[in-house]
A and B are shown apart, each in its own frame.
Chain A
Amino acid sequence: QVQLVESGAEVKKPGASVMLSCKASGYAFTSHYLHWVRQAPGQGLEWMGMLNPFGGSTTYAQKFQGRVTMTRDTSTSTVYMELSSLTSEDTAVYYCARGFSGEMAFDIWGQGTMVTVSS
């Protein structure tokens, strides 16, 4: 079946970087955008950026520009999201999500990865 499987929980110190992965299966990897969305404790969903697996182009939310990098490996149908210069405010659950309906909505979501930033 169509699914996105994310990497496991991470604990990082302030100032460090974290790289998360999202492995797609059950569909043509290059046919749908992949997005990253996060939810900090007690907060709402926040769109971080997207990657087009076909050519690798990316768009990032202004808030994260300069600090986030999204890449993909088409041989393994995996998308990566690296976030640098972590602070406690980056403590959150991070989701990857597949684009749907002309890529304008998100129909399949990963299980979420908890990232904790703490000294």
Chain B
Amino acid sequence: QSALTQPRSVSGSPGQSVTISCTGTSSDFGGYNYVSWYQHHPGKAPKLMIYDVSKWPSGVPDRFSGSKSGNTASLAISGLQAEDEADYYCCSYAGSYTWVFGGGTKLTVL
């Protein structure tokens, strides 16, 4: 399996909104709505931000939202804050008890 395709970097100013895309093939996404998103600050463990395409785990602000259309999933972040600066990874269940991550996107808050 190849990694899902994400932009290498995105940026935005505080208070603005950004969107990170995650593109795969029908085999990557497996026809399932099991896309999750992770925030990863260097030196720390990744943090689950979105699961099942658009659901929030407890404690994650609703400034983060997820969606999926066809073979592209997206993570939108509104009201950017300095602490949102991190690497973001999408991940999808790919069937047969396998998972695949995206290549990661570095979010810079200007």
**B102→A95 contact, CB < 8 A:** no
Contact partners of B89 in chain A: CB under 8 A: 44-45
**Interface size of B as a range:** 20 to 34
**A46→B99 contact, CB < 8 A:** no
Contact partners of B68 in chain A: CB under 8 A: none
**Interface size of A as a range:** 20 to 34
**Shortest distance between the CB of A39 and any CB in chain B (Å):** 8
Tally of A-B Cβ pairs under 8 angstroms: 67
- Do most interface residues of chain A lie in helix, strand or loop, or is the interface mixed? strand
Q: Footprint of A on B, CB under 8 Å?
A: 1, 3, 32, 34, 36, 38, 40, 45-48, 51-52, 55, 57, 87, 89, 91, 93, 96-104
**A105→B36 contact, CB < 8 A:** yes
**Shortest distance between the CB of B23 and any CB in chain A (Å):** 15
